[in-house]
């Protein structure tokens, strides 16, 4: 099955820095979702994007739905130690049936140095 492209696999930043993560696909999606997962836990939804070009914020997080519908990015500003975790992007075609399934990237592991 298809997977979304997230790279690099790991990122290391200093506390207080901003970080940006990109997610790309060879095919279009109509919804983009960003999740964060802590070790041994289920992913937690951070931001959902529904419209091409849409820019949405959630606290220090900002995400954009690419205009081509084939990419999305997530930006974290002023990072703090609790931002450590794995960040997944996911794309979805529609609301029902097989279109409702999520296609995931492999995730980016973020480390924040105090």
Partner 1 sequence: DGGITQSPKYLFRKEGQNVTLSCEQNLNHDAMYWYRQDPGQGLRLIYYSQIVNDFQKGDIAEGYSVSREKKESFPLTVTSAQKNPTAFYLCATRGRLATYNEQFFGPGTRLTVL
Q: Tell me, by CB under 8 A, how many residues bind partner 1.
A: 29
Contact between 21 and 36 under an 8 Å Cβ cutoff? The reply is: no
Contact between 27 and 2 under an 8 Å Cβ cutoff? The reply is: yes
Using rule CB under 8 A, residue 101 touches partner 1: yes
Give the separation between CA 91 and CA 111, rounded to whole angstroms: 24
What does the block give as tokens for 11? Answer: 């990122």
Q: Tokens 């002023």 identify what position?
A: 78
Q: Which region, judged by CB under 8 A, interacts with partner 1, from 13-21, 61-69, 76-84, 92-100?
A: 92-100
Give the separation between CA 103 and CA 70, rounded to whole angstroms: 12
Judged by CB under 8 A, the residue of 69, 104, 110, 112 near partner 1 is 104
The three-class DSSP label of residue 29 is coil
Judged by CB under 8 A, the residue of 65, 73, 87, 88 near partner 1 is 88
Using rule CB under 8 A, residue 8 touches partner 1: no
Using rule CB under 8 A, residue 97 touches partner 1: yes
Report the residue number, 73 or 104, with the smaller CB distance to partner 1. 104
> 12 to 71, contacts with partner 1 by CB under 8 A?
31, 33, 35, 40-45, 48, 50
What does the block give as tokens for 106? Answer: 């492999």
């Amino acid at each position: 099955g298809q997977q979304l492209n997230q790279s690099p696999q790991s990122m290391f930043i200093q506390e207080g820095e901003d970080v940006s993560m990109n997610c790309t696909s060879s095919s279009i999606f109509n919804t983009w979702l960003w999740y964060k997962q802590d070790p041994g836990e289920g992913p937690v939804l951070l931001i959902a994007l529904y419209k091409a070009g849409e820019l949405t914020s959630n606290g220090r997080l900002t995400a954009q739905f690419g205009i081509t519908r084939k990419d999305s990015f997530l930006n974290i500003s002023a990072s703090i130690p609790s931002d450590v975790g794995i960040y997944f992007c996911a794309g979805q075609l529609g609301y029902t049936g097989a279109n409702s399934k999520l296609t995931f990237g492999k995730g980016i592991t973020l480390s924040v140095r105090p």
